[in-house]
Structure 1
Amino acid sequence: MPSQPLRQPGRAAVAFVFVTVMLDMLALGVMAPVLPKLIVGFEGGDMERAAAITGLFGFAWAAMQFLASPVLGALSDRFGRRPVILLSNLGLGLDYVLMALAPNLAWLFVGRLVSGITASSFATASAYIADVTPPEQRAAKFGLLGAAFGIGFIGGPALGGLLGGIDLRLPFWIAAALSLANAAYGLLILPESLPPERRARFTWKGANAFGSMALLRSQPALFGLAAASVLMYLAHESLPSMYVLYVMQRYGWDAAAVGLSLAVIGVGSMVVSVALVGPAVARLGERRAMAAGLACGAAGFALFALAPVGWAFLAAIPLISLWGLTGPALQALMSRRVGADEQGRLQGALGGLRGITGMVGPVLFTQAFAVGIAPAIGLGAPGLPYALAAVFLALALVLGWRVTRSGRPEAAPLPAIPPG
């Protein structure tokens, strides 16, 4: 049966969950500009080998997300959200200390594996919000978590580049300080959201990455929405894996233009998450908000693929930003279909699906790009990766709309809830 909110924690507790997600992404982002340089240094300047190892690091991190997210979600259903969130913050901070001190590539790789495990707290943070928020308000709150994700995604690499110019190890120390300070603050102000009487029994069969998918298969509508989510996550992988290569190859943009355009995408997505998700769900309902976001995303990626010049490519960014309506609406639709003692497993399973797409997506889209521009094949279609992303979102739209057509009706939309 659908879960009901347990109690409203103080504003400080909800703000802490928001800051936790933001700092997790900020801490990860600050490493982005310096981690490849450290790898190059450990490999004696061998760029070819360093590139291969960097790809291995990325794959390993996504694999740890796939394995750890369902386990952490199930643990939070059993022991509560608070200890899992706090221990994740503590573990992440200590792991950054390990990477800051890493004397060789092997230790750096171990640190990256641990980072993939401890950075899986987004699932538990989402479950915390589901615990304390009425179902009709969840999409707006999930949108705020998405905004926190975006702030960290934008600010992290910029901060990392600045700090890395001083010392390549400094970003790791700053990331460690942020995570440890957040854990200490949460120890003081974060209340538990899931009381003992609503907790579930923990079993490894249900918590492992494959067993957790049984929850997603428990209802046809839930399974269909999860499949739509996979298509959405997969389409999203086209941005980090292909964006820089694509705009440099097709439009000849320099690093400054690439960075500015990525910042515009990030800001646009945050504006949608903070200011538009709540009103859109209040006016349209979760199902139609999901569909509107997917339609905008599919149109935006189609324009990315077809745009012959840079200004036409930039014109698609507002549509890509409006795609941000989809994630919170999808999460809210799925959270309605599980009980209070299953919110952690649900969010953990979704985190596992993100891990899978994080492993598959970069390979899929880079290979599509290689095929699209290969002279021997002669397609002359550099936009092939984004055409593929558009197809994925169109399929997600059809699937998501069909599986919710005759499912449990939504609650009547209510006025938007102000952030905070």
Structure 2
Amino acid sequence: MISLKTKTKQSKNAMVFVLITVMINSIGFGILIPVLPDLLKTLTDLPNNQAALYGMWLTFVFALFQFICMPIIGGLSDRYGRRPIMLLSLFGLGIDYFIMGLAPTVAFLFIGRIIAGAMGATFSTANAYIADISPPETRAQNFGLVGASFGVGFMLGPVIGGLIGESFGPRAPFIAAGVLSLMNVAYGYIFLPETLPADKRRDFSWKRSNPFGSLKSLGQIKGVKGLIFILFLLAMAHTVYPTTYAFSTIEGLGWNKADVGFSLGVFGIASMVVQGGLIRIIIPKVGLFWAGVIGIISAIIAYTMMGSADSGWVIYAAGPFAALAGLYGPALTNMMSSRVSASEQGELQGAIGAAQGLALMIGPFAMSGMFWYFGDTENKLPYGLVGFPDNLIHMAQHAFAHGPAPYVPGAPFLTAAALSLLGFGLFVLVTTKADRQARYYDVDEAK
């Protein structure tokens, strides 16, 4: 029998590893954002707005395989434990970065994204780890620590990527990301404990371990299906950052790679403050429902400001709101996590991951399509990049008229704001009076 002291030490080791893993992986992800436009333009010899379409398809392929494989990975972690699945996914991500960094053609970028999507269990398995080791009253805050670690990585990654990309070319950051991922595999192999006891594991079922089967199974638990759909909408809106943020700011504001990286670094600092500190104050004070409300409304404000920006300071002014948007993820995830048993945490996180994968399949088409259509310099009209609500007015007028499209490089962000507004309305509709009064959930109470 495992002593309380040993169990506490194992939980602490698991928490430390999860946080380091998320940070390193977000560094690896963030490193790529400032240099991907240049790498795509180098490999395709296409202008900015057309190269963005390749970025869209790369994101789509990643999301497709994540959508298919995430519930499988979640089910396997419920059957065989979290540790082997986490290490396998980290190794796959490392291989992906090397393939993309050494890619001689665009086809190799797609191969790398397929591997990353199939192995993309890191964040869902990380959340399953958190659910395993966290009591109900601190679960949302610990989910917030995962977000804070992501914020630290997202702060460092784009800055590192922008600097390395400017100094050594657009391929070098991919190699750096691969080295970081494989170093983390070695660290995890030595120090990562298993947190899912054998008596809490469940048999693997292909019927449940697919996107539709897991959603059907979890949908029988009150409130889960609606909250997953809301996260799907919000995740689709969030695809504006990896898909078109760099393209939009480079096109509309004349930024370079270093500008993009530095701005994302500032956002990472703000996100770290919110998810690493403020979330531990806000959620116990206002509860999960109101934390979700604050987060979604903040996202709407941030997207609207970025979509209507006519100078760089507006992007930075939107940063605090973009950071506060990080509240909705831990709040909604805890609402769902506390409704399922310990043996279903991997399945739940797999279903959430599948929903996010589906959002990554659809979102890039919407965001890249909006940028391709409204961000073409050749169609730039005299009014240029103007403030809100003029952007929306010009876009609406064009929907009912003919002629060149108005030049609105921030159009993808306005689309994200509309999706988030829809998510907010549904969040208000699907939650109950008990949800609005709860500070946290106990599994038995939620059921």
Fold shared by both chains (TM-score > 0.5): yes
Structure 2 residue identity aligned to 1:126: N
**1:284 Cα deviation after fit:** 1.0
Map of 1:169-318 to 2, 5 A cutoff? 170-247=172-249, 257-306=259-308, 310-312=312-314, 314-318=316-320
Query: Contact 1:220/1:403 (CA < 8 Å) preserved in 2?
Result: no
Structure 2 residue identity aligned to 1:332: N
Match of 1:159 in 2: 160
- Relative distance call for 1:290 and 1:386 in structure 2 (3 A) is same
Query: Contact 2:162/2:260 (CA < 8 Å) preserved in 1?
Result: no
Structure 2: how far apart are the matches of 1:102 and 1:253?
26
Match of 1:417 in 2: none
Query: Contact 1:215/1:346 (CA < 8 Å) preserved in 2?
Result: no
RMSD in angstroms over aligned alpha carbons? 3.2
Match of 1:140 in 2: 141
Query: Contact 1:72/1:121 (CA < 8 Å) preserved in 2?
Result: no
Structure 2 residue identity aligned to 1:395: L
Query: Contact 1:136/1:411 (CA < 8 Å) preserved in 2?
Result: no
TM-score normalized by the length of structure 2: 0.80
- Relative distance call for 1:400 and 1:251 in structure 2 (3 A) is same
Query: Contact 2:271/2:323 (CA < 8 Å) preserved in 1?
Result: yes
% identity of equivalent residues: 40
Query: Contact 1:297/1:322 (CA < 8 Å) preserved in 2?
Result: yes
- What SS class does the counterpart of residue 121 from structure 2 fall into? helix
Say how many residue pairs are matched: 408
- What SS class does the counterpart of residue 58 from structure 2 fall into? helix
**1:60 Cα deviation after fit:** 1.1
- What SS class does the counterpart of residue 208 from structure 2 fall into? helix
- Relative distance call for 1:209 and 1:411 in structure 2 (3 A) is same
Structure 2 residue identity aligned to 1:184: A
**1:188 Cα deviation after fit:** 1.9
Structure 2: how far apart are the matches of 1:366 and 1:51?
6
Structure 2: how far apart are the matches of 1:277 and 1:410?
17
Structure 2: how far apart are the matches of 1:297 and 1:92?
29
**1:46 Cα deviation after fit:** 5.6
Structure 1: how far apart are the matches of 2:409 and 2:178?
40
Structure 1: how far apart are the matches of 2:106 and 2:263?
33
Match of 1:418 in 2: none
- Relative distance call for 1:103 and 1:234 in structure 2 (3 A) is closer
Structure 2 residue identity aligned to 1:396: G
**1:367 Cα deviation after fit:** 3.4
Q: Establish whether residue 59 from structure 1 lines up as the match of residue 60 from structure 2.
A: yes
- Relative distance call for 1:53 and 1:234 in structure 2 (3 A) is closer
Match of 2:432 in 1: 405
Choose 362-371 or 20-29, whichever is displaced more: 362-371
Structure 2: how far apart are the matches of 1:228 and 1:407?
19
Query: Contact 1:74/1:344 (CA < 8 Å) preserved in 2?
Result: yes
Q: Mark the runs of 5 or more structure 1 residues left unpaired by the alignment.
A: 1-5, 415-420
Q: Mark the runs of 5 or more structure 2 residues left unpaired by the alignment.
A: 1-5, 375-393, 442-447
Query: Contact 1:97/1:173 (CA < 8 Å) preserved in 2?
Result: yes
**1:132 Cα deviation after fit:** 0.4
- Deviation track 1:39-77 (CA, whole Å, cap 9, x = no partner) reads 55555x466886554443222112222222211111101
Structure 2: how far apart are the matches of 1:336 and 1:413?
9
TM-score normalized by the length of structure 1: 0.85
- Relative distance call for 1:380 and 1:13 in structure 2 (3 A) is closer
Structure 1 residue identity aligned to 2:279: V
Query: Contact 2:71/2:351 (CA < 8 Å) preserved in 1?
Result: yes
Match of 2:91 in 1: 90
